[in-house]
Amino acid sequence: MVAEIFPVAFIFFAAAVLMLALPRGPLRAGLLLIAPIVALALVWSLPEGSLWSVRLMGLDMEFMRVDRLSRIFGLIFCIAAFLGNLYAWHVRDSVQQLAALLYAGSAIGAVFAGDLITLFVFWEGTAITSVFLIWARRTEGAYHTGMRYLVVQVGSGVLLLAGAALFWRETGSLAFDRMTLQSPGTWMIFLAFGIKCAFPLLHNWLQDAYPAATVTGTVILSAFTTKLAVYALARGFPGTEMLVYIGAVMTLFPIFFAVIENDLRRVLAYSLNNQLGFMVVGIGIGTELSLNGTAAHAFAHILYKALLFMSVGAVLFRTGTAKGSELGGLYKTMPLTMIFCVVGAASISAFPLFSGFISKSLILSAASHDGYYIVWGALLFASAGVFHHSGIKIPYFAFFAHDSGLRPKEAPVHMLLAMGITAFLCVAIGVFPGPLYAILPFEVDYVPYTTTHVITQLQLLFFSALAFTVLMKTGIYPPELKSVNLDTDWSYRRVLPTILRWLSGIVAVLWAANAAFWHRRWINVIAGLYRSHGPEGRMSQVWPTGAMVLWIALLLGVTLIVNFVS
Following DSSP, what letter does each residue of 426-438 receive, concatenated?
HHHHHH--HHHHH
282 contacts 329 by C-beta, under 8 angstroms: no
Residues 273 and 168 in one domain: no
- Sign of the CA dihedral running 184, 190, 193, 197: negative
CB count, 10 Å around CB of 539? Answer: 12
Residues 192 and 47 in one domain: yes
Helix intervals (H) in 46-111 = 68-87, 94-111
- Give the CB-side neighbour count of residue 166, counting CA atoms within 13 A: 16
User: What is the pLDDT, as a whole number, of residue 1?
Assistant: 40
282 in the same domain as 353: yes
Report the pLDDT value the prediction gives residue 523, as an integer from 0 to 100.
Answer: 86
User: Is 219 domain-assigned?
Assistant: yes
Give domain status of residue 493, yes or no.
no
Same domain for 275 and 356: yes
Query: Does 509 share its domain with 476?
Result: no
Task: Please list, in sequence order, all residues whose beta carbon lies within 8 angstroms of the beta carbon of residue 38, skipping any fewer than 6 positions away.
Answer: 11
Shared-domain flag, residues 151 and 5? yes
φ/ψ (deg, to 5) at 524: -65, -40
In this structure, what DSSP letter does residue 477 have?
Answer: S
- Cβ(229)–Cβ(193) below 8 Å: yes
> In the listed set 236, 264, 279, which residue is the last one of a domain according to the structure?
236
Looking at this protein, which amino acid is placed at residue 54? V
Burial class (CB in 10 A: 0-12, 13-18, 19+), 25: exposed
How many other C-beta atoms can be found within 10 angstroms of the C-beta atom of residue 184?
14
Q: What is the spatial distance between Cα 14 and Cα 16, in angstroms, rounded to a whole number?
A: 5
Domain count, the chain: 3
On whether residue 479 sits in a domain, the answer given is yes
Rounded to an integer, the average pLDDT of 527-543 is 65
Mean pLDDT of 212-231: 94
225 pLDDT more than 90: yes
Q: Are 346 and 334 in the same domain?
A: yes
Mean pLDDT value of segment 185-210? 92
Task: Tell whether pTM > 0.75.
Answer: yes
Q: Are residues 181 and 221 part of one domain? A: yes
Q: What is the mean pLDDT of residues 422-433?
A: 96
Written as one string, the DSSP assignment of 274-312 is HHHHHHHHHHHH-SHHHHHHHHHHHHHHHHHHHHHHHHH
Q: What sign for the dihedral angle of Cα 108, 113, 118, 124?
A: positive
Q: Same domain, yes or no, for 520 and 381?
A: no
Query: Quick one: average pLDDT of 58-69?
Result: 86
Length of the chain measured in residues: 566
Residue 54 near residue 61 (C-beta atoms within 8 A):
yes
**Residue 126 confidence (pLDDT) above 90:** yes
- 215 and 283 in a single domain? The answer is no
The residue among 264, 150, 162 whose CA lies nearest residue 209 is 150
Cβ of 207: how many Cβ atoms within 10 Å?
26
3-state SS record for 444-470? CCCCCCCHHHHHHHHHHHHHHHHHHHH
2 has pLDDT over 70: no
Where does a domain end: 236, 254, 269? 236
Which residue range(s) make up the domain with 157?
1-236
In a domain, 377, yes or no: yes
Asked if residue 15 has pLDDT above 90, the reply is: yes
Whether 269 and 315 have beta carbons less than 8 Å apart is answered as no
Give Cα 521 to chain centroid, integer Å. Answer: 56
Q: Is residue 498 part of a domain?
A: no
In a domain, residue 431? The reply is yes
Q: Select from 236, 271, 303 the last residue of a domain.
A: 236
Q: Are residues 252 and 181 part of one domain?
A: no
**Mean pLDDT confidence for 1-10:** 67
How far, in Å, CA of 233 to CA of 564, rounded?
A: 75
Averaged over 13-30, what is the pLDDT? 85
Examine residue 358 and state whether it is found in any structural domain, yes or no: yes
Tell whether the model's pLDDT for residue 430 goes beyond 90. yes
Distance separating alpha carbons of residues 203 and 197, to the nearest angstrom? 8
Q: Lowest mean pLDDT: which of 222-226, 527-531, 543-547?
A: 543-547
Are 166 and 120 contained in the same domain? yes
Nearest to 279 by CA among 357, 225, 360: 360
- Is residue 497 included in any domain, yes or no? no
- Residue 3: the pLDDT is 42
